[in-house]
Amino acid sequence: MATTPMKPLQVGLLGIGTVGLGTWTVLRRNAEEIARRAGRPIRITWIAEKSIERARELTQGATDVQLTDDAKLVLANPDIDIVVELIGGIEPARTFILQAIANGKHVVTANKALLARHGNEIFAAAHANGVMVAFEGAVAGGIPIIKALREGLTANRIEWIAGIINGTSNFILSEMRARGASFASVLKEAQQRGYAEADPTFDVEGVDAAHKLTIMSAIAFGVPMQFDKVYTEGISKLTQEDIRYAEELGYRIKLLGITRRAAAGIELRVHPTLIPTKRLIANVEGVMNAVLVKGDAVGATMYYGAGAGAEPTASAVIADLVDVTRMHTADPEHRVPHLAFQPDQLSDIPFLPMGEVETSYYLRMRVQDRPGVLADITRILADREISIDAMIQKEPSEGEDQTDIILLTHRTVEKHVVDAIAKIEALPTVKGKVVRIRLEELN
């Protein structure tokens, strides 16, 4: 090999926002320790940032870095070995990454939205140009979950993954449960504390989790990324009473991203989910993330940590930089394939439409307190072969003639439940809509 071992690896950073600054800071603070691991120093020598002012302020007059507001200068610079894209969003990030790849540069990115939507195009370009695109920071922040799935569990046929992969939603659910507060009031507080964006849709409606789930699913099952196949349902309609009834039944409600290899295809879904309180993952609170992976040989393993934030995400970005540093002069055949499986070995297993998914359900309905109501409801369920696992029927409050019935079903097919709910809602003794939340035992 022609490289001198201790020549620094030169990194061009695109974007010095929260994670960009974290990467800059950690790479300098731990420079010596990182070089001892990587075998050579890793240095950010160029930063492209829309506001050079901002970049100058944040780098505090460091003289060993060039600043520019023109990303193309970084992408075209022959001295740069690796481009780190931390701009986020689809454009111009996509164009910059494809340009970097075309210029023969390796890429490290934490851009989950981009990979979930354009990952297939990007990885194909990387493969054609013989470069690496590393993306540990794109899923679950500092938790090395991509490495675990792609390298740590290679012996396994992965059966399913269930993850708390959006810290904002988990913080809101934790606070709603702990303090008995409403979704709206906790969201407001999360926004004040900087845990939620002014427009929280991406986080609370499950879009961000769906991006991360798309990436994990592709790696786990050796399929192309298909973000448009994710069923997505957020937490904004969850109420205190459902959280309390779930607790009474021994369950906790979490926003889970779930992907499972079922007989007929791959499930890919993000939704609020009742999970048994005794499971470790049910006890992951606040902004923390955790991913539970079930493999046929290893059984259940779980990975827990900070899913966002400047330095946790920088930890993942820099781990990728060290991996790329080790491998960047090696033959591509020695590298870990981008999507865990060799690119010519991807599978075309179909994704399952949500109606075909099999899971359990929590159903809550408001009914008139009179004889025969329960019989009508259970008859509708039985006709669709939906069997009941547990039930709560409350005494009506003083002077009221309406009450709540809560049912937990055994595993059944979603479309049958949708059908049963329509029939139940049509009963004259049932008031309003039936609340339906999915339930997973995760065993």
Asked if 307 interacts with a copy of itself (CB under 8 A), we say no
**Binding string to a copy of itself for residues 197 to 236, with x set by CB under 8 A, is what?**
-------------------------x--------------
**Is 212 annotated in the active site?**
yes
Among 124, 327, 374, 427, binds a copy of itself (CB under 8 A): 327
- 443, burial (CB in 10 Å: exposed 0-12, middle 13-18, buried 19+): exposed
List of residues 6+ apart from 148 with CB closer than 8 A:
293, 301, 303
Question: Distance between CA 381 and CA 424 in Å, rounded?
Answer: 9
Cβ proximity to a copy of itself, 135 vs 303, nearer residue: 303
User: What would the two tokens of residue 187 be?
Assistant: 């969201």
Cβ proximity to a copy of itself, 76 vs 327, nearer residue: 327
Residue 105 Cβ vs a copy of itself, minimum distance, rounded to whole Å:
18
Residue 226 Cβ vs a copy of itself, minimum distance, rounded to whole Å:
19
Residue 58 Cβ vs a copy of itself, minimum distance, rounded to whole Å:
17
Asked if 303 interacts with a copy of itself (CB under 8 A), we say yes
Asked if 44 interacts with a copy of itself (CB under 8 A), we say no
Among 312, 352, 363, 409, binds a copy of itself (CB under 8 A): 312
Asked if 164 interacts with a copy of itself (CB under 8 A), we say no
Amino acid at 137: G
Among 297, 397, 426, 443, binds a copy of itself (CB under 8 A): 297
Residue 394 Cβ vs a copy of itself, minimum distance, rounded to whole Å:
31
Cα distances (Å, whole numbers) of residue 429 to 205, 365, 394, 403, 407: 32, 10, 16, 11, 17
Query: Contact region for a copy of itself (CB under 8 A) — 9-17, 165-173, 309-317, 367-375?
Result: 309-317
Q: How many CB atoms lie within 10 A of CB 12?
A: 26
User: What would the two tokens of residue 191 be?
Assistant: 């926004």
Enumerate residues 91-120 that contact a copy of itself by CB under 8 A.
none
Asked if 379 interacts with a copy of itself (CB under 8 A), we say no
Cβ proximity to a copy of itself, 322 vs 406, nearer residue: 322
Among 8, 152, 250, 276, binds a copy of itself (CB under 8 A): 152
Cβ proximity to a copy of itself, 29 vs 379, nearer residue: 29
**Binding string to a copy of itself for residues 242 to 281, with x set by CB under 8 A, is what?**
--------------------------------------x-
Asked if 143 interacts with a copy of itself (CB under 8 A), we say yes
At which residue do the structure tokens 């390298």 appear? 151
Asked if 284 interacts with a copy of itself (CB under 8 A), we say yes
Catalytic option among 212, 229, 254, 294: 212
Nearest to 112 by CA among 248, 195, 19: 19
Residue 35 Cβ vs a copy of itself, minimum distance, rounded to whole Å:
8
Which residues bind to a copy of itself, rule: CB under 8 A?
1, 5, 22, 26-27, 29-30, 33-34, 36-39, 136, 142-144, 147-148, 151-157, 222, 280, 283-284, 295-306, 311-312, 314-319, 322-323, 326-327, 329-331, 333-337, 340-342, 345
Q: Which residues are catalytic?
A: 212
